[in-house]
Homo-oligomer: A and B are copies of this chain.
């Protein structure tokens, strides 16, 4: 589709009063916070980027904190959902983990977005309140707990030996996923991240034979 054929965004639609588009604003704020970090980005930067005045911004989103958390949740509902939503189909737990990690390899290195995972990148920075830090950690742990569930399911279904330390193996895969986000920010390509995934998955062999 050429640029000319792109549908107009809500706030550009002819015959409609030009009004503040929350979703567009959240998408823009998500990309800005993701790229620059919570502390670095000022509300002044955001109003410039969104092309609206500070009173409109505060009226629509409240504080910088509230806007940031809404941007995080917008990420988790859109781009992040693509990575972290594990299909509840008939795949094996290992296949579902492989899909999650491979999607992360692809998404974290996609040039159409800032590198890495927005939530994981947000952990390394500090915050002006304990509340926001806790909200980030909670959201991170909620997504990472999917990996715990998949490894536990692997043990339950016999794909992994009953003697597997499921907590430790899950923590290992979570560590790899988190390292991948940092690697992507350092410029790793999709192929390089996929090779990391392939190596990590050797700890859960596809044709594991149980003794």
Q: Shortest 3 CB-CB distances between A and B: which pairs?
A: A179-B179, A124-B124, A175-B179
Tell me if A47 counts as interface (CB < 8 A to partner B).
no
Tell me if A93 counts as interface (CB < 8 A to partner B).
no
Is there contact, CB below 8 Å, between B123 and A185? yes
Proximity string of chain A (107-139) to chain B, C-beta cutoff 8 Å, 1 when within and 0 when not: 000000000100011011110000000000100
Q: In the complex, A192 Cα to B137 Cα: how many Å?
A: 17
Tell me if A163 counts as interface (CB < 8 A to partner B).
no
Contacts A37-B124, A37-B125 hold; do A171 and B195 have CB atoms under 8 A apart? Answer: yes
Tell me if A69 counts as interface (CB < 8 A to partner B).
no
A22-30, A83-91, A197-205: which lies at the interface: A197-205
Docked complex: A128-181 residues within 8 A CB-CB of B:
137, 140-141, 165, 168-169, 171-172, 174-181
For chain A, the count of residues having a C-beta within 8 Å of the partner chain is: 41
Residues of B with C-beta under 8 A to A121: 124
Contacts A140-B186, A165-B195, A183-B178 hold; do A36 and B171 have CB atoms under 8 A apart? Answer: no
Is there contact, CB below 8 Å, between B125 and A40? yes
